Amino acid sequence: MAIALVAIMIIPTKSNATLIPDAYIVEYSDQEQGNSILSSLDGLTHPYRIRQTYASPVFHGLSLHLSAVSPNSTNNSSITEAIDNIHPLLAYLYTHPGVRKVYPVRNVPRPQWVDRKDINETSYLPYDNNLTQLKGMYSQMNLTGAGVTVGIIDSGVDYDHPAFGGFGAGHKIRFGHNFIDPANDDEHAGSHRLENDPYDLCPGDDGGHGTHVTGIVSGLDTSKNFSGIAPNVTIGAYRVFGCTDGAAEDVVIKAMEMAYEAGCDMINLSLSVESAWPENPMAVVADRLAQKGAIVVTVAGNQGGQGVFMQTSPGSGTLALSVGSMENTFRYDKVLHASIFPNQSYPYALSTSTENMPDGKMLGIIFDQESQVIDGCTNSTLEEEAFAHDKILLLRRGRCSYDNKLEIAKQFGAVGVLFYDEAATKDNDEPLLTKTSAGTIPSAGIANTVATKLINHYHDNITSDIMLSFPSTPEKVPVKGSLRMSHFSSTGPTYELGLKPTITGIGSDVFSTLPRHNGGWGLLSGTSMAAPQVTGMAALMLEWYRRKGIPKLDPVFLAELMQNHAMHIPYNGKPEHPLRQGGGFIQPMDALQSTVHVSPGYLSFNDTDNLKNTHQLRITNGGSSEITLDLSNRVSEAILPFNGSTGYTPSEPMARDNTSANLAFSPSRVVVQPGTSVNVQVTIHLPSIESTPWQYQMYGGFIQVSQKGSSKVDASVPYFGVLGSIRALPLFDAGYPYLTSSGDMSYNDSDTFVFNATSQEEVPKIVYRLLTATARADITVVDERNTIVGAIDGSPYTYLDRNNLQKDDKQSSIKWNGRIVDPKSASNYDTESIMIQPGTYRLHMRALRLLGDPQSASSWQEWVSGPIMVVY
């Protein structure tokens, strides 16, 4: 449900997506109006700089940076002085009939992966090609992505890597653009490239994101047995991230426009800002690109531990393909071999100061008086053990620092140390991560399970020698608990209860290219790695349809195809919830070969206030013979978004329970003739509130379509809904909002804040914490008679995201500088504001409840500050 709002989006600064000061995106109602606006700007004297211009079928407008303007005084009184509420040029644009919308420009955070492992020498495949169905796509269907053009908007690419082979005509990476300021490159990389050159020249180990993404989509190095998903696609590379910091939203939008106009069939954006609002400008442009036939693939986000509504933009766009991450079935890792366990490999993690472990030394295990492995924190634990000399020791974590343990071990002649965490769970297969200082002996962490095996063997064979070796070449290691959603993958839905993510790819421990100066190859984890897998598979699917004479794929149809035929990722013996996996793990070969198609690709039953209890599915038989199909409901465990003991603070991470809904199908069995479609009514029956108290459980599952008498699922449709009224949820957390000074001195309702509006050394500040998102928040100033005298600068604030429990996003704040605008014209962004008269006032904040009706008083939650005495 979208809410009609005024033409500007104002968003208080949040740490995950900082606003770029004085930068705005202006959207025209059409290009003709835009030409008129541009002409009129030439006659204005107010300083500004145009950042980007947009004149494509998907977006008409510009972005600009406004320079500071000194206000024009109308008299000598600072009280009644007329001051522009906003920059005069921006005020002009707000009121111009040809302006459709004005957005502030956010900083898109620099792409980050969850984990990274560099691998210098390799002969590896990134996935199990049977699981991904790529083996059949290559060998049986001969698909390589030939004839498909993919735009990749990222940090650029090392196109001279052997897996790419160059740049320009005749090469895989054929065109692109470099948006980075040459001065920035000169400072951080020592050189820069031309505008049409997207080469990633950034030094350092935190670079290479775009090279890795490009390799997943299309890399090919036969000498290393490496292939990306679609090795024969044509790539357009757009470098929007430099060597430091993030990218501006208006630059990303310009890159999206350029990729579309260059003829890219699909666009991969492994980047995002945290916003589950479809109204975010990048999401808006993603939707418009999809409406024009471009396939936009982007990330669900890496906020899996932060609960529900954590989808990101541009993936929050209704038509964008938002991709979640599933665990890989294996990874390549450094391993150790122990002589007592032949043909076994055990991963280990080098300490931060260790480059490699010594090979072929005997392991020393020393027990204390309680028959526990020593922690190595005192000399006395080693002084009687002469065999510590020239050996690798096994030491417990704890009681003193790793550096202290290593120094003592070094004194007694040890050549290395393996650390383990005895407090870790007995089935923990992850190596212990250790931070050590340079100059100590080599050390590494191993998993508790490995340490336990070594200790048990030593107990039974006290005189047995244990020889260790540490091969230089990483080995393929099975991932315990694979075929599950990655813990970091973000959970939906959007704030308007749209299903996100759309689909899932493999995003954990993905092997691909890195810049040559970063070693050339490595493993990265994140939804940034899952999105390009889906992009590559979409390219193969488009190639297949083009062979059938279909030049373009409707993005909606493609999403349905992927969701219909995805593999359901399990969770506790049931399919993982659709708000975690979308339709499931993409299975492109099944999608292309199946003759059954179901539309729409998912169902949202909304919350109970807005329940649409009956939906219609359209089932199409694309085969050559009659089929009889049965429909069934396979439920998932419900998501519990809130912890009942903490009110309505979103659970981070969320919990689960067995709440489910019943579905009735009319008819439940259909006969579909070849080349025809039939409709099926799906009616939901919610559990009664008496049998299952409604606590905002997000129920869900999959509607499965199978041929009569067969256990094979021919197609499925994810669905979900919410037990409870979303608009009844509180917006403000307990104890919020509250008033402080700009220096963070708190004021309760009975305290009077004395605000010197002349010096403005300390200004009033509203601190708030949103439990749920709001589409609009108004802040007005009321006098002692409770009469509104004006709205504060910047009000209303629109499309605010909820806060979470992370330290840098636990709460937000808005300052008041003493200026007000006429409340009658505040919603229209009147061009003039005044400094408020001396007196005593209060700040009144009201916010629209999620999914609330702006016309209904009950849909707003309100707060009033204590008294603020304004003096001059």
For residue 154, indicate whether it is catalytic.
Answer: yes
Could you tell me which of 534, 593, 597 has the C-alpha nearest to residue 561? 597
**823 pLDDT above the threshold of 90:** no
At 27 the three-state DSSP class reads strand
Pair of tokens at residue 362: 């005997």
> Of 154, 158, 200, 250, which is the active-site residue?
154
Cβ proximity of 83 and 819 under 8 Å:
yes
Could you tell me which of 661, 654, 669 has the C-alpha nearest to residue 701? 661
Consecutive H or E run containing 33: helix 31-41
**Looking at residue 416, what is its pLDDT?**
94
Pair of tokens at residue 827: 């919603």
Q: Which residue has the tokens 């204390």?
A: 368
Q: Which residue has the tokens 């531990």?
A: 305
For residue 63, indicate whether it is catalytic.
Answer: no
- Percentage of the residues of the chain whose pLDDT score is greater than 70: 91
What residues form DSSP beta bridges with 779? 845
d(CA 696, CA 698): 6
Q: How many CB atoms lie within 10 A of CB 794?
A: 19
- How long is the chain? 872
CA 344 → CA 78, 341, 469, 758, distances in Å? Answer: 80, 6, 12, 75
Biggest CA–CA distance in the chain, Å, is: 96
d(CA 73, CA 64): 26
**Looking at residue 85, what is its pLDDT?**
45
**Looking at residue 463, what is its pLDDT?**
62
Cβ proximity of 69 and 46 under 8 Å:
yes
At 177 the three-state DSSP class reads strand
Poorest-pLDDT segment among 568-577, 769-778, 808-817: 808-817
> Of 316, 528, 706, 812, which is the active-site residue?
528
Higher per-residue pLDDT: 8 or 708? 708
> Of 96, 177, 188, 209, which is the active-site residue?
209
- Percentage of the residues of the chain whose pLDDT score is greater than 90: 70
Could you tell me which of 173, 203, 191, 8 has the C-alpha nearest to residue 87? 8
Q: How many CB atoms lie within 10 A of CB 382?
A: 21
Single-letter code of the amino acid located at 195: E
Q: Span 506-532, mean pLDDT?
A: 94
**816 pLDDT above the threshold of 50:** yes
pLDDT tens-digit readout, 92-139: 787 788 899 999 999 999 887 776 666 655 556 677 888 999 999 999
Q: Which residue has the tokens 């009644």?
A: 80
At 530 the three-state DSSP class reads helix
d(CA 642, CA 687): 19
Cβ proximity of 586 and 566 under 8 Å:
yes
Residue 376: HSE in the Cβ half-sphere, 13 Å Cα cutoff: 28
Structural domains present in the chain: 19-70+83-108 (3.30.70.80), 109-331+477-590 (3.40.50.200), 335-473 (3.50.30.30), 594-728 (2.60.40.10), 730-870 (2.60.40.4070)
pLDDT tens-digit readout, 718-748: 999 999 999 999 999 999 999 999 999 999 9
CA gyration radius, the chain: 30
* Strand ranges inside 609-672, DSSP E: 614-621, 627-635, 638-642, 650-657, 662-666, 669-672
**157 pLDDT above the threshold of 90:** yes
pLDDT tens-digit readout, 1-12: 333 333 444 444
d(CA 702, CA 776): 34
**764 pLDDT above the threshold of 90:** yes
d(CA 847, CA 803): 14
pLDDT tens-digit readout, 268-299: 999 999 999 999 999 999 999 999 999 999 99
pLDDT tens-digit readout, 226-271: 999 999 999 999 999 999 989 999 999 999 999 999 999 999 999 9
Poorest-pLDDT segment among 20-34, 46-60, 564-578: 20-34
What residues form DSSP beta bridges with 702? 634, 718
**Looking at residue 71, what is its pLDDT?**
41
